[in-house]
Structure 1
Amino acid sequence: MDVAIRTAGEDDREPVVRLLDAAFQDDPVSGWIFPGTEYRRATHPRLMAEFTGVVLDEGRIDVTEDGSACALWLSVPEDDHPDDNHPDDGHPDDEAAARLQEAVDPDNERLALITRLTAGMHPRGRAHEYLWMIAVAPDRQGRGMGTALVRSVLDRCDREARPAYLEASNARSRGLYERLGFVTREPLDLPDGPRMWPMWREPRG
């Protein structure tokens, strides 16, 4: 599918937040973090706003030209990985997890917990591209837009011999990523919640 893709700028902040919010409202992990429909509708956008801000500052957000899909990427350098002798030091670390909880929903301990858990399973020792989130507007899903966004970066990863990493939050997305060459690592079962699948992709020659 031929999809026009550009890099998001500051003017795209609010549209990206709305897109992420719409795409992840019914996601199993979002439902675990924010149980209850009304509660999730009220608080979930704040989490998406925090994620968007981080990636605008530290990474890159790709958006389709029509604004119906976006992908949040971070380039993780080799020296950004925690030292193996300090397994409790994650990326983001406990301090970052606490800041996220305070900014989004101070009484919600699951925000800090999931941040620490995902940081703990993040690969160490090799530089890679990290697909933090990808979202397609609900009325545009199933048309190959998400695949086009991911492929545009994976093609560069292959040229540069650079691996890629992500965490799939549902079985459907896991299947998509497997077709793109990602391999599932040991899954993470959230306490009394859904399963997440960390996935790693070696560059293709």
Structure 2
Amino acid sequence: MGVAIRVAGEGDRELIVRLLDEAFQDDPVSGWIFPDAEYRRRTHHKLMAAFTDSVFADGRIDLAEDGAACALWLSVPGEAHVKKGAEGEDGTEGEDEAVGLRELVDPDNERVETIARLMAEGHPAGTAHEYLWMIAVAPARQGEGLGAALIRHVLERCDREGLPAYLEASSERSTKLYERLGYSFTDNTLDLPDGPRMYPMWREPRS
């Protein structure tokens, strides 16, 4: 049976933040950002809320109709990608989004800023593509194919329109799912200082 999918609206914000918070509590990258488990339970949702608001502003969030899974997407244009934390195109110092994220989420936690910078610096430039920022499935519903259905929902459009797609897998184990969907590891990991690796993956459109 297919998965009913709709575009999320602002009224779904609380649900999406909760999904992301629950799904990523035990993720290796989240564990690196917030090493203390009790502190992570109290604070992690703030980072997920910031990500949710950013995608509501600049992208699109797809939501399984039953509320059990969501996917956060950004459509990245083909012109030069302006990296977060970098100077603006006119050479003036633009707003440092990595610093702003740390100050919003956890002001004394430099790892919030570090992860934002590394992801921005590693993002491919020069080719329009669909970027899967995050995907979350409620822990009790994992293994049912909901995540794959949400991703295919966008990849089918990518194939029709000839668009590549990009993501960063947060563990080597999760790369296997993405490989089945046509993504390939780019051969360059994002190495968190004294922490886990992330695996950038690229997918060319299928004809």
Task: Tell me the TM-score normalised to structure 1 length.
Answer: 0.94
The CA deviation at 1:182 is 0.5
RMSD: 1.7
Gaps of 5+ in 1: none
The CA deviation at 1:172 is 2.5
Task: Tell me the TM-score normalised to structure 2 length.
Answer: 0.93
**Superimposed CA distance per residue, residues 73-116 of structure 1 (whole angstroms, 9 cap, x where no aligned partner):** 00001125149xxx9559xx870000000000000001111111
The CA deviation at 1:171 is 2.1
CA distance in 2, matches of 1:72, 1:88: 23
Count the aligned residue pairs. 200
Find 1:201's aligned residue among 198, 203, 206: 203
CA distance in 2, matches of 1:8, 1:197: 27
The match for 2:19 is 19
CA distance in 1, matches of 2:86, 2:196: 23
2:79 partner SS: helix
1:66 aligns with 2:44: no
The CA deviation at 1:154 is 0.3
1:164 aligns with 2:172: no
1:39-188, aligned counterparts within 5 Å? 39-82=39-82, 95-185=96-186, 186-188=188-190
CA distance in 1, matches of 2:80, 2:51: 19
Change (3 A) 1:8 1:80: farther
Worse-superposed segment, 169-178 or 121-130: 169-178
Change (3 A) 1:117 1:4: same
Contact 1:94–1:116 at 8 Å: present in 2 too?
A: no
**Superimposed CA distance per residue, residues 34-88 of structure 1 (whole angstroms, 9 cap, x where no aligned partner):** 00111101110000000000111110000000000000000001125149xxx95
The match for 1:4 is 4
CA distance in 2, matches of 1:56, 1:191: 30
Runs of at least 4 residues off by over 3 Å: 87-90
CA distance in 2, matches of 1:45, 1:28: 16
CA distance in 2, matches of 1:163, 1:194: 26
